[in-house]
Structure 1
Amino acid sequence: MQIGPYRIDPPLALAPMAGVTDKPFRLLCKRLGAGLAVSEMTTADPRLWHTAKSLRRMDHAGEPEPVSVQIAGYDPAMLAEAARCNAANGAQIIDINMGCPAKKVCNVWSGSALLQDEPLVARICKAVVDAVDVPVTLKFRTGWDRGHKNALSIARLAEDAGIAALALHGRTRADKYEGEAEYETIAAVKASVRIPVFANGDVTTPERAKQVLAATGADALMIGRGAQGRPWIFREIAHYLATGEQLPEPTPDEVAAILLGHLEHLYAFYGEVPGVRIARKHLGWYAKDRPENAAFRGVVNRAETAVEQLRLTRDYFTALSVGERLAA
């Protein structure tokens, strides 16, 4: 698919997830087959741009093209200035957050709370599009709750304002991440606009990916929680869509190499102490499908240093690898 001058190939994107899609994880998912990786949301409030957290989120040095940065806020002028600032800082695509269901975001009239005010949505989209020369995309949900679903009108407002592509999570804000994603709404949105559409929600396997594309007619898929602990899902889906064949599951040795490299990058990016802490959730996700998950999580969560965390992780996967060879 195409967003402005950028071809997204394969048409698979890593969804923006606060506290997850930092630079180390974006680079990893890009290397493992994502055609696009969207940053964590960056606040539009300029008073917070110079905090350590914001500066890390605005670090895109060495990222492969296209660099997509998500901004969040409620004021059109403030969002326009945030778009200009991020474009000057290397963003090649600006994404507007109207999908986050978190209370702390919605309570300040940002994220999916904006879906309750369609005129404000239109003003925000136009202000951001007019502010920058790079493509602007919109991530949103099907509505505020099941009694107030307005994805079709939001999509048309966005297209009229010059938005270059849409990413629609097939749930309302009230649904959060529960229940089944409603692909029929994504299909209706795709049929009603001329701009590209990402289908988002419950894409967790190559087979499901193919089903979602068929059900929605979407141009591409956006994957969030399905990539947590399985960043190789992008290459698996790309291969399945291209050939109809499943790639073999990565071996424990392959998973260990991916994970240990990820941990090293986290330590380098954040520093050892915060890097060790942030790594714990990734370690839990990597191990979640393993029967030994509870024991592994208990061990690695006790690690206080990078050396100890790396050693425990390496030992765990070495034992898995030996076990598989003995079983074979």
Structure 2
Amino acid sequence: MKIGNVELKNKVFLSPMAGVTDLPFRLICKEQNCGLLYTEMINAKALCYDDENTKKMLKIEEKEHPVAVQIFGSDPDFMGRAAEIMNDYSNEILDINMGCPAPKVIKNGDGSALMKNPKLVEQVLTSVVKNSKKPVTVKIRKGWDDENINAIEIAKIAEYCGISALAIHGRTREQYYSGKADWDIISQIKNNISIPVIGNGDVFEVEDAINMLDKTHCDAIMIGRGAQGNPWIFKRINHYMQTGEILPEATVEEKMNTAIKHLKLAVKEHGEYVAVREMRKHIAWYLKGLRHSAKVRDEINKIESCEEVIDKLNSYMQHSLTLE
């Protein structure tokens, strides 16, 4: 498929997730044939003020491409300036966050709170499209709450403003990640606009992806929580689309070796102190559902050295292999 002038090899994408989709995790997902990687969300104002930590989040490696950088904010001027700054970076696509439900984001009118003000949405999107030399996409939710479902209205505004593709998470802001994602809203948006529509929400298995495509006729799938500790989901969905065969799930050995590789990439990128702590949640996801893994997870949460974590994962793997 294409987004603007960007050719994509497949239609299974990694969703932007704060605190998750940093460079090391993106590289792991890319190895598993992810079609489009999204960065963590970048604060447009911080970008305009040349914030060092923000610039670090924008590091993209050659082997990652194509990459979408996601920015957030609700001030049309700052968002436009941020788009202009991003013209000098190597990402192929610029994405606008209008889906984040986090209190610290919505209290400033950003993220999913922006959907409550369609007039401002139009101003923000117009400013970003005008200042970006790259295709601009947007990620939205179903609406603010059950009384304020306006995803179709926002989607039409996005198309009118020159947005190249739209991702929709089938939950309201009020739902956060609870309940079930409403895939009907994805179909409705697909029927109301002509730009590519990317479906998001509750894709945890290969079958979920196929059902979403069949039910909504969306152009691509975006996977968030379903990829946490499970980057193989991209490879498995793509394999099914090409062959009709469902590959087996990753083995304990594959999971532990990938967790170790992920940790080493994180240490290289963030330094040992930060990486070991940041990786605790990822390792918990890699271990999820495995036999006797609660104890090793609790032990890893207390370890501060990279080598000790690797030893612990290796010994768990060896123990698991002897049980088979």
Where on the TM-score scale, by shorter chain, does this alignment land: which range?
over 0.9
Q: Could you tell me which runs of 5 or more consecutive residues in structure 1 were left unpaired when the two chains were aligned.
A: none
For residues 15-44 of structure 1, the C-alpha deviation after alignment (integer angstroms, 9 at most, x for no partner) is: 000000001111110111110010000001
**1:227 aligns to what?**
227
Rate the CA distance shift 1:48–1:275 in 2: closer, same or farther, 3 A. farther
How does the TM-score come out when normalised to structure 1? 0.96
- C-alpha deviation, 1:63, in angstroms: 4.2
Q: Distance in 1 between matches of 2:306 and 2:52?
A: 21
**1:285 aligns to what?**
285
Q: Distance in 2 between matches of 1:27 and 1:283?
A: 16
**1:160-179 equivalence runs, <5 A:** 160-179=160-179
**1:125 aligns to what?**
125
Are 1:206 and 1:241, in contact at CA under 8 Å, matched by a contact in 2? no
**1:215 aligns to what?**
215
Are 2:155 and 2:193, in contact at CA under 8 Å, matched by a contact in 1? yes
Q: Distance in 1 between matches of 2:107 and 2:19?
A: 19
**1:183 aligns to what?**
183
Letter in 1 for 2:289: D
**1:199 aligns to what?**
199
Are 1:263 and 1:279, in contact at CA under 8 Å, matched by a contact in 2? yes
Q: Distance in 1 between matches of 2:286 and 2:231?
A: 9
CA RMSD of aligned residues (A): 1.3
Letter in 1 for 2:191: A
DSSP 3-state at the match of 1:218: coil
Are 2:2 and 2:8, in contact at CA under 8 Å, matched by a contact in 1? yes
Letter in 2 for 1:249: E
Are 1:46 and 1:82, in contact at CA under 8 Å, matched by a contact in 2? no
- C-alpha deviation, 1:13, in angstroms: 0.6
- Between Structure 1 and Structure 2, how many residues are aligned? 324
Are 2:144 and 2:172, in contact at CA under 8 Å, matched by a contact in 1? yes
For residues 90-113 of structure 1, the C-alpha deviation after alignment (integer angstroms, 9 at most, x for no partner) is: 222000000000011000100000
Q: Could you tell me which runs of 5 or more consecutive residues in structure 2 were left unpaired when the two chains were aligned.
A: none
Are 2:229 and 2:286, in contact at CA under 8 Å, matched by a contact in 1? yes
For residues 70-96 of structure 1, the C-alpha deviation after alignment (integer angstroms, 9 at most, x for no partner) is: 000010110111112122122220000
Are 1:49 and 1:55, in contact at CA under 8 Å, matched by a contact in 2? no
Rate the CA distance shift 1:250–1:46 in 2: closer, same or farther, 3 A. closer
Q: Distance in 1 between matches of 2:43 and 2:206?
A: 33
- C-alpha deviation, 1:51, in angstroms: 4.2
Rate the CA distance shift 1:91–1:260 in 2: closer, same or farther, 3 A. same
Are 2:137 and 2:163, in contact at CA under 8 Å, matched by a contact in 1? yes
- C-alpha deviation, 1:246, in angstroms: 1.0
**2:106 aligns to what?**
106
Letter in 2 for 1:214: D
Letter in 2 for 1:148: N
Q: Distance in 2 between matches of 1:285 and 1:50?
A: 34
Are 2:239 and 2:246, in contact at CA under 8 Å, matched by a contact in 1? yes
How does the TM-score come out when normalised to structure 2? 0.97
- C-alpha deviation, 1:48, in angstroms: 7.5
Per mean C-alpha deviation after superposition, the further-off stretch among 37-46 and 240-249 is: 240-249
Letter in 2 for 1:282: H
Q: Distance in 2 between matches of 1:56 and 1:319?
A: 39
Q: Distance in 2 between matches of 1:261 and 1:294?
A: 21
Are 2:48 and 2:82, in contact at CA under 8 Å, matched by a contact in 1? no
Q: Distance in 1 between matches of 2:147 and 2:219?
A: 28
For residues 108-150 of structure 1, the C-alpha deviation after alignment (integer angstroms, 9 at most, x for no partner) is: 1000000100011111111100101100000000101011000
DSSP 3-state at the match of 1:88: coil
**2:263 aligns to what?**
263
For residues 216-270 of structure 1, the C-alpha deviation after alignment (integer angstroms, 9 at most, x for no partner) is: 1100100000000101110011111222211022222222221211110000000
Letter in 1 for 2:24: P
Are 1:252 and 1:318, in contact at CA under 8 Å, matched by a contact in 2? no
DSSP 3-state at the match of 1:315: helix
Letter in 1 for 2:203: V
> Percent identity at matched positions?
42
For residues 156-175 of structure 1, the C-alpha deviation after alignment (integer angstroms, 9 at most, x for no partner) is: 00000000000000001111
Rate the CA distance shift 1:280–1:79 in 2: closer, same or farther, 3 A. same
Letter in 2 for 1:56: K
Rate the CA distance shift 1:47–1:259 in 2: closer, same or farther, 3 A. closer
Letter in 2 for 1:255: K
Q: Distance in 1 between matches of 2:178 and 2:242?
A: 31
Rate the CA distance shift 1:185–1:318 in 2: closer, same or farther, 3 A. same
**2:26 aligns to what?**
26
